[in-house]
Amino acid sequence: MTQVFGATSTTDDVLSGVSLKNKRVLVTGVSAGLGVETARALAAHGAHVVGAVRDLAKAKRATDQVREAAAQGGGAFELTALDLADLASVRACADRLNAQGAPFDLVIANAGVMATPFGHTKDGFETQFGTNHLGHFVLINRIAGLLRDGARVVNVSSAGHRFADVDLDDPNFDHTPYVPFVAYGRSKTANILFAVAFDARHRSRGVRATAVHPGAIMTELVRHMAPGEIEAMVSQVNEQAIADGHEPFQFKTIPQGAATSVWAGSVADADAVGAHYCEDCHVSDVIPDDQPISLANPGVRAYALDATRAEALWTKSEEMVGERFA
Which residues neighbour 253 within 8 Å (Cβ) at sequence distance 6 or greater? 10, 217
- The β-bridge partners of 154 are 108, 210
**Strand, coil or helix: 260:** helix
Residue of 178, 184, 277, 303 with catalytic role:
184
Q: Residue 178 corresponds to which amino acid? A: Y
Measured distance CA(51)–CA(28) in Å, rounded = 6
* CB 108, CB 62: distance < 8 Å: no
Measured distance CA(260)–CA(110) in Å, rounded = 12
Q: Residue 143 corresponds to which amino acid? A: I
Measured distance CA(14)–CA(38) in Å, rounded = 12
Measured distance CA(287)–CA(266) in Å, rounded = 26
**Strand, coil or helix: 136:** helix
Of 110, 101, 202, 98, the C-alpha closest to 149 is: 202
**Strand, coil or helix: 112:** coil
Active site residue 184: yes
Distances (CA, A) of 77 to 50, 65, 285: 6, 11, 35
68 alpha-carbon distance from chain centroid: 25
Which residues belong to the active site?
A: 184
